Structure 1
Amino acid sequence: MPPARKRRADPDDSDADVRPPQRRRVSDPDEDDYAGEASNTQGDGNFDAMVKNLVRLALACEYSRTPIRRNDITTKILGTNNRQFKAVFAEAQTQLRGTFGMEMTELPQKEKVTLAQRRAAQKSQTTQKNVTSWVLTSVLPERFRQPEILPPSRAPTCELESQYTGLYTFIVSLIYLAGGSLPDGKLERYLKRVNVEEAAAQNSINIMASGGDKTEKLLKRMEKDGYVIKIRDNSTGEEMVEWMVGPRGRTEIGDSGVRGMVKQVYGDVGDPAELARALERSLGANEVPKRREELAAQSQRKGRRRRTEARGEDDSSGGSSDSN
């Protein structure tokens, strides 16, 4: 049987199998510009939305006297855009200043007052360099900070809000004028002298729950809002309860607020210079930390002395038994 011949390829088939090279599409420069503008517009829209949400968050936190925390900004506003924090924060500050006359001010950290807190801070050896919380403060000039221009909030009513503002400003001023720390007994006597609880009952202030010690509930609310801090110290062997100014009290009121309240209470005096000097002496007489350190050092010295005396007694008793 003769070998089978291979079929000769048809030239038409070879031409059909070979595909013509496809031309590379040349992009239109006008279309590229349009696409770039669209992407930029989308990015700007996302940025503007984050700025507006941060402004709303700041106003809502100030309305409820809640600190503006960095974690809330990251989780609720930025999401996965953590790298845009500085840009979003700066633009939100600009809008707050230009539209509302306010800005986000750094909230100071709580001071390590007691001996136990200082020891814990030394053991941890962690210092927070980044700011973690803010509050809104006014940037309006002093001549515009009047009740007619800046009325109290309407939550729940202007009257109740103004009464609460006056109460915590009064208590913070007492602590400042006492040198930065006020014992619990003295604060209680001051509040009774000005009839805080009686005035609250007469004016039907619902900032304190009915029943129980209304003054204590008032102080708890101020402590929760960050105006005051209640310190309990047992380092000296006896429990000392004192009140200090909280982070919001230092930021919102501060020395300037205390001076304004004192001048408003005293009014026109015969010698304004003498009042100013007395006020500066009271605000500058902050000897409480030194006194607390001295008491702690005294307690440590007493403890060492007692241990030394106990060891001496043990040695003397041991020597007498050996001689017998």
Structure 2
Amino acid sequence: MHDTSHAEPGGHVPVMLGRVLELLAPALGGSEPVLVDANLGLGGHAEALLAAHPRLHLIGVDRDPDAIERSTARLAPYAGRITLVRAVSDELPEVLARAGRPRVDGVLFDLGVSSPQLDEAERGFAYSQDAPLDMRMDPQQELTADVVVNTYSEGELTRILRDYGEERFASRVSRFLLRERAASPITSTKRLAEIVREAIPAATRRTGGNPAKRTFQALRIEVNGELTAFERALPAALDALAVGGRVVVLSYHSLEDRISKQVLAARTKDTGPPGLPVPLPAHQPRFRLVTRGAEVPDEQEVAANPRAASARLRAAERIREPE
């Protein structure tokens, strides 16, 4: 059974919560442990970690002012043990420097979009409701989904839809978008979803959920620079870990998981020349993998929380100081 005491507003439970707590626990047993939640969202994982570790200080990072506001209210009982910062995850070194905590014991990346962003129509993330084409996690940034859809070239749109949305009809969708925007700008989520639906062949439309899902995912990733931020943030998080410190990554997209896998693999392998009788200390790995491959939620969790279905979890631990 799930511990529903950590259910999110709207009934959502933080993804793989029990496993996240289990993996981070060995790193948080010290007298003054510090953990960074690099994608704070609704604060569900953060709340559970603060409850489980009475001496823990948590640094929560999110670029969405709404997420910071909600989490500030939710985590109010722990106000003396939290530092919440509005920033992008790849600003981690600056965030830690300002907080006066350059070394930390744990870092959690939960790369999923929080439920309110998906559910509140005016944010423009949802294809199920009509809203302006926005999709910004940071309302102050200039790039919106409207700009991408109406100004990017056909080649750029095809690349984004193929790489970020894993849309096999990417070039066809792009062609339809260019044709439609030539007649009039595409400014609403409803119209975008209708155009994508027309572009996807009928036989494919009958399976696999809403045909616009992949296009909306691709635009969200492009607008918010999610993959580029994570590519910089994960190495920065590993650099900040103390010996015995752990990083846990929850990703929801094959590209996110690939970055996670590649970065962790590079940090956990011996870099010395092969065949040496004794490994050279300078080439020994600084980290070890704590998970075997990518772990996935069990069937029970997916049944209770369909948004967990695409989750992939990886974790690593620092075992040596840098040379």
Question: What's the TM-score once normalised by structure 1's chain length?
Answer: 0.22
Q: Could you say which structure has the higher strand fraction?
A: 2
Greater RCO, CA 8 A, separation 6+: 2
User: TM-score w.r.t. structure 2 length?
Assistant: 0.22
**Which structure has the larger Rg?**
1
Structure (1 or 2) with the greater helix fraction: 1
